[in-house]
Chain A
Amino acid sequence: MIAWETLAQVLINGLITGGIYGLIALGLSIIFGVMRVINIAHGDFMMLGAYTSYWLFVYSGGLINPFISLIISVPLGFIVGVAIYWILVNRVVEAPELMSLLLMFGVSTFIANMALWAWTAYYRGIPYTLPSISIGSIVIPLCRLLAFILAIAITFGLYVLFTKTYIGKAVRAVSQNRLAASLMGIDVVKIFAFSFGLGAAIAFAAGSLITMSVERAFDPYIGGHYTLLSFCIAVLGGLGSMRGALIGGLIIGLIESFTGGLFIPVSLVPAIYFAIMYLVLLFKPTGLMGR
């Protein structure tokens, strides 16, 4: 029999992980929802975000911790995303889905191997920790809690952006009906560029946060794992749905902490992602929140 403290601990771990997972999948879901492009390089953007935080931490001599470096990594991600959109994706966004899929696959290979060449295959981690909070026998590392709170704050910020501002409403209009939106005077290409930048910025932010919470060590090839994870979450919640991404993230976080911590080795967790994705695609391909 498992003690209730263990259960509570696993539950809290799962929720904290899940909040960040929701953010990861959100970036993928926004880009897909707006322009029907699956960003295979999503995980590689996260890897770049993690390295941005790492180098800022190292070169500032520990002054800029990963939470502060969000101020730099988020705009950087936005710029990288918009640049990649203008230079590459814009040329294939109207072409069949296959083209953008292949293109982003090439981009992903290119980014990961450039990073490998520049930064070598060493596992890196940011040596920054905060004390833990203990409630009874339940331990919550402050770093993870802060990362979770920031992830939720960013998600809430996005919600406000999409519901209250002009550009956010324009993004939603384009995702609902591209032609009608352009007839209403919305510059669709600009909205695409903005959404792609937004997706990349979220990936960079998630990359910075993940170094503080879920997987503290990273290398240039970590991207593939996160692309897969975010796709799995987005599919579970319903590809293109914001609420779906959040709920999917929480479910996957909980499943991961309950199974990975208690019943099976952590290294088998990718098999669980696959099993979930397979079952969803088999029985309800639109996902939990899909239309």
Chain B
Amino acid sequence: MDFLKIEIKEMKFKTIHYIALIFLVILVMAPFTPLSARLPFLYLTLFWIVFVGSFNIITGFTGYVPFGQVMFLGAGSYAAVLSIVKLGISPYIAIIIGGLASMALAFIIGYPTLRLRGAYFSIATIALNEALKVIIYNAPEEITGGPMGVTLPTELFEPIICYYLMLSLAVITVLITYFIANSKFGMGLMAIREDEDAAAVLGVNAHKLKLMAFMISALIAGMAGSIHAWRTMYIEAVSEFEIHKTVIGLAMLMFGGAGTVTGPILGATILYTIEDYFWAQFPFAHMIIVGLIIIVVVLFVPQGLVGWLRQKMPKMKELLF
């Protein structure tokens, strides 16, 4: 595991670290302050930060886009909920199970398709997502709940605990992204993104690295799905595997800046806030605008908000990134 070694540079505390710390303190204290009225909003923002962060680890660093990324949320939630309901396992352990199930799925789908160019991988993940959806939907009700879905027993309802779990997962995701961005592993991934053939010639084991990044990404998404299932207390195949979540997550990632540490946080927070306050009133316009955001960002600012800021304000870079 030599390539996982992280080169610890002199850790200078920059302004961004203090800002992050202040936000973290606010988020930790939130349930005990007037902010607690907006706890569901904060919780969902954190959920999106985690999901977009998991997307970032595979898409941002390697340049491969799993259009079916939502399946890891779905698979995680089903693995967790079924192990709680059928096996009577504690929800905390079920979250781990959900993450591991998604990770196993990522291995199965990633192993053959990550050898090929991006497009095969992207569409094969959509296909697996659809396959999982119809299999779970059509399976006998005793096993997966079928079209009826599965409900968790009401005595498990713990919104505050779920909030803290999602907050911890968000922090872990950001830290993992930070370490990847500054490790030899991350360098390998970025080399793959820039020029896979050149990277392979220089001795980067592209297939192995991509697969590892994909599995880490799936692990995080699977755990997020499990926590979210616990929070909502109910899962159902069609909405768990709804491709819209991928589209929205992708728009957030592209908007914030793929392949950066702060990009997914900014993208998820800004777009989810706008969605919560404004777009929710116009459900049709919402997805149209999400599509437009993807098109505009790809054409005009492929580096995203953070990349754009870095370019336009080099002084901010010293301060912030």
Q: Which residues of A contact B (CB under 8 A)?
A: 32, 38, 40, 88, 91-92, 96-99, 101-103, 105-114, 116-117, 224-225, 227-228, 231-232, 235, 239, 265, 267-271, 273-275, 277-278, 281-282, 285
- Report the separation of the CA atoms of residues A275 and B120 in the bound assembly, to the nearest whole angstrom: 14
The answer to whether residues A107 and B295 also contact, given A231-B123, A271-B135 and a CB cut-off of 8 A, is yes
Pair B113/A281 contact, Cβ less than 8 Å: yes
Pair A267/B63 contact, Cβ less than 8 Å: no
- Report the separation of the CA atoms of residues A26 and B32 in the bound assembly, to the nearest whole angstrom: 60
The answer to whether residues A97 and B119 also contact, given A106-B291, A106-B294, A106-B298 and a CB cut-off of 8 A, is yes
Extra pairs beyond A108-B291, A269-B134 (19, CB < 8 Å): A101-B65, A106-B293, A109-B290, A110-B295, A111-B291, A113-B284, A117-B288, A224-B243, A227-B123, A239-B120, A268-B134, A271-B131, A271-B134, A271-B135, A273-B127, A273-B131, A274-B124, A281-B124, A282-B112
A96, A111, A224, A273: which has the most chain B beta carbons within 10 Å? A96
- Closest-by-CB residue of A relative to B244 is A109
Pair A98/B118 contact, Cβ less than 8 Å: yes
Q: Does B22 contact A (CB under 8 A)?
A: no
Pair B295/A99 contact, Cβ less than 8 Å: no
Instruction: Determine how close the nearest CB of chain A comes to the CB of B199; give it in whole angstroms.
Output: 13
**What residues on B are CB-neighbors of A269 within 8 Å?**
134
Pair B124/A270 contact, Cβ less than 8 Å: no
**What residues on A are CB-neighbors of B288 within 8 Å?**
109-110, 113-114, 117
**What residues on A are CB-neighbors of B284 within 8 Å?**
113, 116-117
Q: Which residues of B contact A (CB under 8 A)?
A: 63-65, 67, 109, 112-113, 115-120, 122-124, 126-128, 130-131, 133-135, 137-138, 243, 247, 250-251, 254, 284-285, 287-288, 290-295, 298-299, 302
Pair B135/A232 contact, Cβ less than 8 Å: no
- Report the separation of the CA atoms of residues A269 and B135 in the bound assembly, to the nearest whole angstrom: 10
Instruction: Determine how close the nearest CB of chain A comes to the CB of B245; give it in whole angstroms.
Output: 12
- Report the separation of the CA atoms of residues A214 and B75 in the bound assembly, to the nearest whole angstrom: 31
Pair A285/B295 contact, Cβ less than 8 Å: no
**What residues on B are CB-neighbors of A109 within 8 Å?**
247, 287-288, 290-291, 294
Which of A105, A228, A231 makes the CB contact (< 8 A) with B250?
Answer: A105
- Closest-by-CB residue of A relative to B123 is A231
- Report the separation of the CA atoms of residues A281 and B128 in the bound assembly, to the nearest whole angstrom: 13
Pair A228/B294 contact, Cβ less than 8 Å: no
- Closest-by-CB residue of A relative to B285 is A117
**What residues on B are CB-neighbors of A108 within 8 Å?**
291
Pair A275/B131 contact, Cβ less than 8 Å: yes
**What residues on B are CB-neighbors of A268 within 8 Å?**
134-135, 138
- Report the separation of the CA atoms of residues A105 and B115 in the bound assembly, to the nearest whole angstrom: 22
- Cβ contacts A to B, 8 pairs, < 8 Å: A98-B65, A101-B122, A105-B65, A109-B291, A113-B284, A117-B285, A265-B138, A271-B135
Instruction: Determine how close the nearest CB of chain B comes to the CB of A116; give it in whole angstroms.
Output: 6
**What residues on A are CB-neighbors of B116 within 8 Å?**
281, 285
Pair A281/B112 contact, Cβ less than 8 Å: yes
B115, B117, B127: which has the most chain A beta carbons within 10 Å? B127
Which of A105, A107, A270 makes the CB contact (< 8 A) with B127?
Answer: A270
Pair A105/B124 contact, Cβ less than 8 Å: no
- Report the separation of the CA atoms of residues A49 and B65 in the bound assembly, to the nearest whole angstrom: 28
Pair B295/A88 contact, Cβ less than 8 Å: yes
- Report the separation of the CA atoms of residues A32 and B292 in the bound assembly, to the nearest whole angstrom: 23
Pair B127/A91 contact, Cβ less than 8 Å: no
**What residues on A are CB-neighbors of B63 within 8 Å?**
96, 98
Instruction: Determine how close the nearest CB of chain A comes to the CB of B3; give it in whole angstroms.
Output: 24
Pair B299/A91 contact, Cβ less than 8 Å: yes
- Report the separation of the CA atoms of residues A269 and B126 in the bound assembly, to the nearest whole angstrom: 14
- Report the separation of the CA atoms of residues A274 and B126 in the bound assembly, to the nearest whole angstrom: 9
- Report the separation of the CA atoms of residues A145 and B124 in the bound assembly, to the nearest whole angstrom: 32
Instruction: Determine how close the nearest CB of chain B comes to the CB of A83; give it in whole angstroms.
Output: 14
The answer to whether residues A232 and B127 also contact, given A98-B63, A102-B294, A281-B113 and a CB cut-off of 8 A, is yes
Which of A103, A105, A228, A285 makes the CB contact (< 8 A) with B247?
Answer: A105
- Report the separation of the CA atoms of residues A97 and B123 in the bound assembly, to the nearest whole angstrom: 13
- Report the separation of the CA atoms of residues A107 and B290 in the bound assembly, to the nearest whole angstrom: 10
**What residues on A are CB-neighbors of B302 within 8 Å?**
99
Instruction: Determine how close the nearest CB of chain B comes to the CB of A251; give it in whole angstroms.
Output: 16
Instruction: Determine how close the nearest CB of chain B comes to the CB of A88; give it in whole angstroms.
Output: 7
Pair A102/B112 contact, Cβ less than 8 Å: no
Pair B131/A105 contact, Cβ less than 8 Å: no
